[in-house]
């Protein structure tokens, strides 16, 4: 009797222990397995708009330094899109495989307060996927965020190749033989018309959108980058500014930004062989000191400095030249009349009285005209008078000798 009781007691104890062990094992199986932390390293990838994504995971599985670029839009009379730079100052967040994470933070600056939201999950294959957005609260109008999706992995994410459509070759039409009509005595056969082949339309390629450079604001201008480019001391409003970025960037395209105080893109220009670029200042600028900066194709700041914007010099108005008008003076030239009469009295029986006219022809003469032609009236009159006196003297001499011979 006693032996049976002991046997039954032992069986009951064994049964209870088995049930307790089975319940413990079932409870242990129901507990979730602890997730593995993310692999440490530098991760890189892209957003769905083609922007670069970079961050790091340390040995404890903590994510830090998330950097990329996103956009927000201002809706109003003049809609505008603003580029927001994620500069890697997010709060540290622990990441485990298969466990979603989410973090939010704010940054305040001269342009207003910017709110950042970042979420994602690490897949078992080591690839991160997630979403993000950044919104700016500006003093006048809010800048509404444009959400984006992102992917990243250690060493970067290999993009899936895009299938390129193979153009379908256009079939070359087979020429149709033209039947030659057999002439008959009564009718001529008509040739059968040849069918015209229909051309297959060629697919027009879709143009690829050119990415818009990220704006360079005052918060992006580190002091060690000042003087990294050569900037003139001043420039006129509406004039051309020549900057030097260095011959190392020859052939590269760079972006020129002017703080007004908001970032204003002056242009994306090609650096020449001497390392110089030239941009034109808008005519709507106001005079004063401004900051001008240059960034590369990856939106990294190459250098910046301060330039004085001065009013443009007024264009001088040409002074009209007076044209002298010649004045003609008309008048009569006074005419002087002069006559000289020479009277010679010859001895009796020798001749008559001769009165030569003055000037050789008689009448009046013009002194100015005589002066212009070289005629001297006084000398002429004296010569005539001398000849007359000589003739009178010879006549008188001859008369005297005749009388002397007669006597």
Q: Once rounded to an integer, what is the mean pLDDT over residues 50-60? A: 94
Which of 84-88, 154-158, 232-236, 365-369 shows the lowest per-residue confidence on average (mean pLDDT)? 365-369
DSSP-derived letter for residue 218 is: G
The answer to whether residue 278 sits within a structural domain is yes
How many residues in total does the chain contain?
Answer: 407
Tell me how crowded residue 116 is: count the other CB atoms within 10 A of its CB: 21
The answer to whether residue 145 sits within a structural domain is yes
Does 376 lie in the same domain as 279?
no
CA 18, 24, 27, 28 dihedral sign is: negative
User: Which helix (H) or strand (E) element contains residue 144?
Assistant: strand 142-146
Does 144 lie in the same domain as 64?
yes
CATH assignment of the domain containing 251: 2.60.40.10
Is the model's pLDDT at 359 over the cut of 50?
no
Looking at the 3D structure of the chain, how many domains does it have?
Answer: 3
CA 301, 305, 309, 315 dihedral sign is: negative
Owning domain of residue 236: 218-310
The answer to whether residue 340 sits within a structural domain is no
At residue 137, the pLDDT reads 84
The answer to whether residue 160 sits within a structural domain is no
Which of 108-112, 219-223, 251-255, 337-341 shows the lowest per-residue confidence on average (mean pLDDT)? 337-341
Tell me how crowded residue 294 is: count the other CB atoms within 10 A of its CB: 27
Which of 93-97, 312-316, 318-322 shows the lowest per-residue confidence on average (mean pLDDT)? 318-322
Indicate the residue among 103, 125, 154 that finishes a domain.
154
Cα distance between the two ends of the chain = 242
CATH assignment of the domain containing 132: 2.40.128
Which of 108-122, 200-214, 330-344 shows the lowest per-residue confidence on average (mean pLDDT)? 330-344
Read off the tokens for 5: 């009781």
Q: Once rounded to an integer, what is the mean pLDDT over residues 44-55? A: 96
The answer to whether residue 222 sits within a structural domain is yes
At residue 36, the pLDDT reads 84
pLDDT tens sequence across 202-252 = 677 665 556 788 898 888 889 999 999 999 999 999 999 999 999 999 999
The answer to whether residue 8 sits within a structural domain is no
Candidate ranges 161-175, 302-316, 378-392; pick with highest mean pLDDT: 302-316
pLDDT interval class at 119 (50, 70, 90)? very high
Indicate the residue among 154, 184, 210 that finishes a domain.
154
Indicate the residue among 310, 333, 366 that finishes a domain.
310
């Amino acid at each position: 009797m006693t032996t049976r009781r002991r046997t039954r007691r032992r069986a009951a104890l064994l049964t209870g222990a088995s049930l307790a062990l089975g319940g413990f094992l079932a409870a242990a199986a129901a507990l979730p397995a602890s997730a593995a932390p993310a692999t440490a390293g530098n991760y890189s990838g892209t957003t769905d708009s083609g922007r670069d994504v970079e961050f790091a995971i340390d040995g404890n599985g903590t994510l830090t330094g998330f950097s990329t670029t996103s956009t927000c839009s201002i809706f109003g009379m003049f809609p505008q899109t603003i580029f927001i730079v994620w500069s890697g100052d997010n709060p540290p967040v622990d990441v485990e495989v298969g466990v979603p994470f989410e973090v939010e933070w704010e940054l305040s600056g001269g342009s207003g307060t910017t709110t950042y939201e970042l979420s994602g999950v690490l897949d078992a294959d080591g690839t991160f996927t997630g979403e993000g957005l950044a919104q700016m609260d500006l003093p006048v109008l809010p800048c509404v965020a444009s959400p984006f999706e992102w992917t990243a992995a250690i060493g970067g994410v290999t993009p899936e190749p895009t299938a390129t459509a193979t153009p379908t070759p256009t079939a070359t039409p087979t020429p149709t033989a033209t039947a030659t009509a057999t002439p008959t005595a009564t009718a001529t056969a008509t040739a059968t018309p040849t069918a015209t082949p229909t051309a297959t339309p060629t697919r027009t390629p879709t143009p690829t959108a050119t990415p818009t450079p990220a704006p360079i604001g005052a918060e992006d201008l580190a002091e060690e980058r000042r003087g990294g480019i050569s900037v003139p001391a001043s420039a006129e409003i509406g004039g051309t500014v020549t900057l030097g970025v260095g011959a190392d960037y020859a052939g590269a395209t760079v972006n020129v930004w002017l703080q007004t105080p908001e970032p204003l893109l002056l242009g994306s220009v090609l650096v020449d062989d001497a390392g110089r670029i030239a941009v034109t200042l808008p005519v709507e600028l106001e005079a004063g000191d401004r900051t001008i900066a240059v960034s590369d194709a990856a939106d990294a700041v190459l250098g910046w400095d301060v330039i004085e914007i001065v009013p443009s010099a007024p264009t001088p108005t040409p002074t009209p030249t007076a044209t002298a008008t010649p004045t003609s003076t008309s008048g009569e030239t006074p005419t002087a009349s002069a006559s000289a009469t020479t009277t010679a009295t010859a001895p009796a029986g020798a001749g008559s009285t001769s009165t030569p006219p003055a000037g050789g022809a008689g009448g009046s003469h013009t002194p100015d005209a005589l002066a212009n032609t070289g005629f001297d009236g006084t000398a002429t009159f004296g010569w005539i008078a001398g000849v007359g006196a000589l003739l009178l003297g010879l006549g008188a001499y001859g008369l005297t000798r005749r009388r002397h011979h007669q006597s």
